[in-house]
C-alpha cells in the first residue's frame, strides 16, 4: 500500500480514536478478579447514559448487531407471536427475515427504499389489532443501506394512541451514540447497538438496552435462548461478572469510548454528526447528484447513500477510490448494488477528514468520466463548515 493511511468512510467499522486503541492495548486480565466489578458496574451504569435511560439495563454480549436482533426476540417472544415490521433497505429486511426464521408471524410492510418506517401504516395495523396479536413492533432507526433515519418517537405515539401493549424494538446499530436516541422518553423496550459504529470500536460487541417491560416479558417467552439469555447475563452482571468469558479487552475499549462520548457530551456528539452530514449533503447537491433518502425528514446523519452520476457504476467507483486514493467508501447493498455509493460519516470525525473523503470521491467520479466541476463538492462543504464553525478563542 502507498504511503499515508487508508481513509475509512464506510458506515462501520469506523475510525478508532487513539484513546480507545490504547485502552485495548493492555495485557490480558483475569475476568474473575475481585476488582473486576469496580470496572464493570460503573461501565454498565454509564452505558445507560448513552442510551438515555434511567431504568432497565444495558447488556453487553460478545457478538455483533445481528446477535443483538436475535437476543431481542428470543428473550421476549414465543413461536407464532405477531411482529409488525417494515422493509426499506437491506438491514430492515434482514431483521424481519431473522424473525421469520424463528417462527414468528411477521407482518412486514414493504416501503419504497428511500423512505423510512411507515408510521401511518403502523398506526392502522395497531388500531386494527384489537386482540393484541402483535407482540413486538420493529423499527430500524437508521437504515444503513439507504441512508434513511426514521422517527421512533412517532411509532411510540402510534402505539400509545392505539393503547397497544406491544413491545417496541429498535435497531440502533448505526444510530446510537451518533444520532439522538432516547430509550426512556420514547418508551423503547429493546434497543440494539454494535461496537463498530458510533462506539468507534472494532466489531465484536452487541450492546443491548432492555426496559423493565421487556424483562417482564421474559417470564412467558418461549423461544429457545441460551447464549443470549438475558436472565443468565443479568444474574451475573448484578455482581459485575459475566456468565461466560467476557471480552475484557473490548470492554476496556468500550470504557474509553463511553468516556469520550460523555466527555464531549451527547448533544455535542449529535450536533457534530449533523454538521458533518450536512456538509456531505451540500457536496452531493453541488455535484448535481441526489441521495436515495427521498426527503429531508429521512436524511441520516451517519451515512449518505448517493445515486452515482450517469454512466458511472457504483461498484467501480468504490473500487477505484480504494485502489487509486486509498479511500474506503461504502458499496451499494442488495438492490442498490452498482447504482449508488455510500459515505459513512459517523464516529470519530472532523471537518478535514470529511473534506478528504469528499475530495477523493470527487476525483474518483471525475476519473470515471463524470462531469463534475472540479472542487465543487469540497467547496460547498468548506462553505458549510466555515458558516457553522463553533466559536474558538
Ligand X SMILES: Cc1ncc(COP(=O)(O)O)c(C=O)c1O
Is 275 labelled as part of a ligand binding site?
no
Shortest distance in whole angstroms from residue 51 CB to ligand X:
16
Cβ closer to ligand X: 67 or 82? 67
SS3 82: strand
Among 40, 93, 174, 364, binds ligand X (CB under 6 A): 174
Question: Cβ(40)–Cβ(240) under 8 Å?
Answer: yes
**Distances, alpha carbon 167 to alpha carbons 110, 170, 178, 245, 288, in Å:** 21, 10, 24, 30, 42
Q: Count of alpha carbons within 13 Å of 88, Cβ hemisphere only?
A: 27
Nearer residue to ligand X within complex by CB, 140 or 364: 140
User: Element (H or E) spanning 9, and its range?
Assistant: strand 7-9
Determine the Cα–Cα distance for residues 249 and 254; give it in Å rounded to an integer: 9
Measured from the CB atom, is 257 or 359 closer to ligand X?
Answer: 257
Judged by DSSP in three states, 307 sits in strand
Does residue 98 interact with ligand X by CB under 6 A? no
Binding mask 189-228 for ligand X (x = CB under 6 A): -----x--------x-------------------------
Query: At its nearest, how many Å lie between ligand X and the CB of residue 10?
Result: 9
The least CB distance from residue 225 to ligand X, in Å, is: 18
Q: Candidates 14-22, 171-179, 317-325, 341-349 — which segment interacts with ligand X by CB under 6 A?
A: 171-179
Of 15 and 64, CB closest to ligand X: 64
Closest CA to 304 of 265, 357, 375, 356: 357
Cross-sheet strand order for the sheet of 303-307? 7-9, 327-331, 340-344, 303-307
Residues 6 or more apart in contact with residue 124 via CB below 8 angstroms:
none
Question: Interacting stretch for ligand X, rule CB under 6 A, among 123-131, 148-156, 167-175, 214-222?
Answer: 167-175
Q: Is 247 in the site for ligand X (CB under 6 A)?
A: no
Residues 90, 142: Cα–Cα separation, whole Å? 11
328 binds ligand X per the rule CB under 6 A: no
Interface of this chain with ligand X, residues 37 to 96, rule: CB under 6 A: 64-66, 91
Which residues here bind ligand X, judged by CB under 6 A? 12, 64-66, 91, 140, 142, 144, 171, 173-174, 194, 203
User: Binding site membership for substrate: which residues?
Assistant: 342
Amino acid at each position: 500500500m502507498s504511503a499515508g493511511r487508508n481513509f475509512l468512510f464506510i458506515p462501520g467499522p469506523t475510525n478508532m480514536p487513539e484513546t480507545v486503541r490504547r485502552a485495548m492495548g493492555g495485557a490480558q486480565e483475569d475476568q474473575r478478579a475481585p476488582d473486576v466489578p469496580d470496572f464493570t458496574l460503573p461501565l454498565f451504569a454509564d452505558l445507560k447514559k448513552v442510551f438515555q435511560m434511567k431504568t432497565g439495563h444495558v447488556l453487553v454480549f460478545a457478538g455483533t448487531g445481528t446477535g443483538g436482533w436475535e437476543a431481542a426476540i428470543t428473550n421476549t417472544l414465543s413461536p407464532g407471536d405477531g411482529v409488525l415490521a417494515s422493509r426499506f433497505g437491506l438491514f430492515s429486511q434482514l431483521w424481519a427475515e431473522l424473525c421469520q426464521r424463528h417462527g414468528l408471524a411477521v407482518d412486514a410492510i414493504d416501503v419504497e427504499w428511500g423512505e423510512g418506517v411507515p408510521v401511518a401504516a403502523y398506526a392502522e395495523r395497531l388500531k386494527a389489532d384489537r386482540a393484541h396479536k402483535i407482540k413486538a413492533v420493529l423499527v430500524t432507526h437508521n437504515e444503513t443501506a439507504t441512508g434513511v433515519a426514521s422517527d421512533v418517537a412517532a411509532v411510540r405515539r402510534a402505539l400509545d394512541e392505539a393503547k397497544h401493549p406491544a413491545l417496541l424494538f429498535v435497531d440502533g446499530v448505526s444510530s446510537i451514540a451518533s444520532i439522538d436516541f432516547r430509550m426512556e422518553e420514547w418508551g423503547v423496550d429493546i434497543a440494539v447497538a454494535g461496537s463498530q459504529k458510533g462506539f468507534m470500536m472494532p466489531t465484536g460487541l452487541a450492546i443491548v438496552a432492555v426496559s423493565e417491560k421487556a424483562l417482564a416479558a421474559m417470564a412467558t417467552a418461549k423461544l429457545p435462548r441460551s447464549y443470549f439469555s438475558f436472565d443468565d447475563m443479568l444474574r451475573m452482571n448484578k455482581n459485575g461478572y459475566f456468565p461466560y468469558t467476557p471480552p475484557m479487552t473490548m470492554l476496556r475499549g468500550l470504557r474509553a469510548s463511553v468516556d469520550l462520548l460523555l466527555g464531549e457530551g451527547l448533544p455535542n456528539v449529535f450536533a457534530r454528526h449533523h454538521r458533518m452530514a450536512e456538509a456531505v449533503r451540500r457536496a452531493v447537491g453541488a455535484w448535481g447528484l441526489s441521495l436515495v433518502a427521498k426527503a429531508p425528514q429521512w436524511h441520516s446523519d451517519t451515512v449518505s447513500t448517493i445515486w452515482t452520476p450517469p454512466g458511472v457504476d457504483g461498484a467501480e467507483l468504490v473500487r477505484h477510490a480504494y485502489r487509486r486514493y486509498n479511500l474506503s467508501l461504502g458499496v451499494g447493498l442488495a438492490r442498490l448494488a452498482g447504482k449508488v455509493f455510500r459515505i459513512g460519516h459517523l464516529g470519530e470525525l472532523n471537518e478535514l477528514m470529511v473534506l478528504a473523503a469528499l475530495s477523493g470521491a470527487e476525483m474518483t467520479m471525475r476519473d470515471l468520466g463524470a462531469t463534475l466541476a472540479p472542487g465543487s463538492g469540497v467547496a460547498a462543504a468548506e462553505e458549510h463548515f466555515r458558516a457553522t464553525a463553533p466559536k474558538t478563542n
